[in-house]
């Protein structure tokens, strides 16, 4: 790992979450005082905070008047950007709260890592909006672990990705994931007109997670007809590390669509279409056979888009 040139940290250039929340509250209420009340602080505190945020950013955000406050044009834009930060923080909060995992939770969820990482926080935020008092706890692990937790009665509801429902569990498909081949813009594969033949994918040197990761296993078995995966170009310990290597142009990789959705949208990565091999897999909610989810579990299932 490269060494540590001191950098001005982001936290010094971005207002803290409290200030961003304040800005959103001001936008909603059109008044510093009411925004302050919503956040449980005094009106002078809000006034001072807003002022120091404007000083820090060097932009006037709010037009104050004796009969209320309105966002300036720039303020509206900044507020929209701030909303994204706050939403990410809300997902973070919902996730960590579940991870804290109090034993007395009304709903105990077990999920595969991919789902826990990319989908679950959003569901939990939605669930909280709908039933603010439902305490949820979360256990994250691979499919086998999820099944184990369900059988042992340590979880009420599980989420796994994979081709089949584990034996002894019932399940419902709640969505789909797909492994996609990605490469940095400019890589020769991104200039192809025709899809990449599976055989060529199997023959190529890819950036991979270390042996044993779920993604790698799925890929290897999907390519078994072509002799399985070739020699890896690089073996890395985390999805994030793989993405970073691909973005920096080290080579192509195969990752879950969920993991690369943002990078594809921002065009930091390009998808390479492949033919001759199917890399889709279902996302499933699962529960012990016979124990049809009810109560909060059913509520959460509804939010995932499942019709049960």
Partner DNA sequence: CATCGCTCATCACCCCAGCTTATGACCCCA
Partner DNA sequence: TGGGGTCATAAGCTGGGGTGATGAGCGATG
H or E stretch covering 217: helix 214-222
Reported as half-sphere exposure (CB side, CA atoms, 13 A), residue 127 has a value of 29
x/- map, 198-227, DNA, by CB under 7 A: ------------------------------
Contacts of residue 122, Cβ cutoff 8 Å, sequence gap at least 6: 91
Q: CB under 5 to 8 A by kind: which of DNA, a copy of itself, none does 78 bind? A: a copy of itself
**Which one of DNA, a copy of itself, none is in contact with 98 (Cβ closer than 5 to 8 A by kind)?**
none
Question: Which of 73, 153, 168, 249 touches a copy of itself by CB under 8 A?
Answer: 73
Do the beta carbons of residue 97 and residue 64 sit within 8 Å? no
Q: Taking CB under 7 A as the rule, which mask of x and - marks residues 43-72 in contact with DNA?
A: xxx-xxxxxx-----------xxxxxx---
- Pair 289, 166: CB distance under 8 Å: no
Q: Does the protein bind DNA through residue 42 (CB under 7 A)? A: yes
Residue with Cβ nearer a copy of itself (261 or 294):
261
- The option from a copy of itself, DNA, none interacting with 44 (CB < 5 to 8 A, set by class) reads DNA
CB 162 to a copy of itself: min, Å: 19
Residue 77 sits in the site that holds a copy of itself (CB under 8 A): yes
Contact assessment for residue 179 and residue 257, using Cβ atoms and an 8 Å cutoff = yes
Q: Contact between 268 and a copy of itself (CB under 8 A)?
A: yes
CB under 8 A, 24+ apart: contacts of 290-299: 290/170, 291/170, 292/170, 293/156, 293/157, 295/106, 295/107, 296/106, 296/107, 296/127, 296/131, 296/134, 296/136, 297/107, 297/156, 297/157, 299/127, 299/130, 299/131, 299/134
Nearest to DNA of 34, 187 (CB atom): 34
x/- mask, a copy of itself, residues 176-205, rule CB under 8 A, reads: ---------x--------------------
Supply angle C-alpha 92, 95, 97, rounded to 5. Answer: 105
Q: Which two tokens stand for residue 188?
A: 């020769």
Identified binder of DNA from the candidate list 34, 83, 128, 187, rule CB under 7 A: 34
We find the least distance from the C-beta atom of residue 32 to DNA, in angstroms, to be: 4
| Nearer to DNA among residue 78 and residue 260 (C-beta) | 78
Q: Which stretch binds DNA (CB under 7 A): 30-38, 149-157, 200-208, 265-273?
A: 30-38
38: contact with a copy of itself by CB under 8 A: yes
Site for DNA in 73-92 (CB under 7 A): none
Helix (H, G, I), strand (E, B) or coil at 174: strand
Applying CB under 8 A, the span of 116-124, 194-202, 209-217, 283-291 interacting with a copy of itself comes to: 116-124
Comparison of 117 and 220: residue with beta carbon closer to a copy of itself: 117
Using alpha carbons, select from 172, 154, 169, 91 the residue that is nearest to residue 124. 91
Distance CA 219, CA 194 (A): 21
Cα–Cα distance, 123 to 302 (Å, whole number): 10
Q: Which does 185 bind (CB under 5 to 8 A by kind): DNA, a copy of itself, none?
A: a copy of itself
Residues in CB range of 289: below 8 A, 6 or more apart: 168, 169, 170
48 binds, among a copy of itself, DNA, none (CB under 5 to 8 A by kind): DNA
Give yes or no for a contact between 159 and 285, defined as CB atoms under 8 angstroms apart.
Answer: yes
For DNA, the binding residues (CB under 7 A) are: 16, 18-19, 31-34, 40-45, 47-52, 64-69
């Amino acid at each position: 790992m490269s060494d540590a040139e001191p950098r001005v940290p982001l936290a010094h250039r971005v207002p803290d979450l409290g200030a961003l929340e304040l800005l959103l509250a001001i936008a909603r209420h059109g008044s510093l005082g009411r925004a302050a009340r919503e956040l449980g602080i005094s009106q002078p505190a809000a006034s001072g905070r807003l002022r120091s945020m404007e000083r820090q950013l060097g932009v006037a955000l709010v037009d104050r008047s004796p009969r209320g406050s309105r966002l300036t044009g720039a303020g509206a834009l900044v507020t929209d950007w701030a909303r994204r930060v706050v939403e990410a923080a809300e997902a973070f909060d919902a996730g960590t709260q579940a991870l804290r995992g109090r034993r007395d939770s009304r709903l105990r969820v077990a999920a595969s890592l991919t789902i826990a990482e990319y989908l679950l926080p959003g569901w939990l935020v939605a669930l909280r909006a709908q039933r603010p008092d439902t305490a949820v706890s979360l256990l994250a692990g691979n499919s086998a672990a999820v099944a184990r937790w369900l059988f042992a009665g340590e979880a009420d509801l599980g989420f796994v990705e994979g081709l089949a429902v584990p034996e002894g569990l019932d399940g419902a498909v709640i969505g789909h994931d797909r492994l996609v081949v990605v490469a940095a813009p400019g890589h020769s594969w991104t200039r192809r007109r025709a899809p990449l033949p599976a055989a060529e994918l199997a023959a190529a040197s890819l950036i991979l997670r270390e042996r044993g990761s779920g993604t790698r296993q799925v890929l290897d078995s999907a390519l078994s007809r072509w002799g399985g995966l070739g020699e890896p170009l690089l073996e890395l310990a985390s999805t994030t590390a793989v993405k970073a290597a691909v973005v920096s142009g080290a080579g192509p990789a195969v990752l879950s669509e969920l993991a690369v959705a943002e990078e594809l949208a921002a065009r930091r990565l390009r998808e390479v279409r492949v033919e001759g091999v199917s890399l889709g897999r279902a996302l499933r909610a699962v529960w012990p056979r016979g124990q049809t989810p009810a109560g909060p579990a059913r509520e959460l299932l509804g939010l995932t888009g499942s019709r049960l």
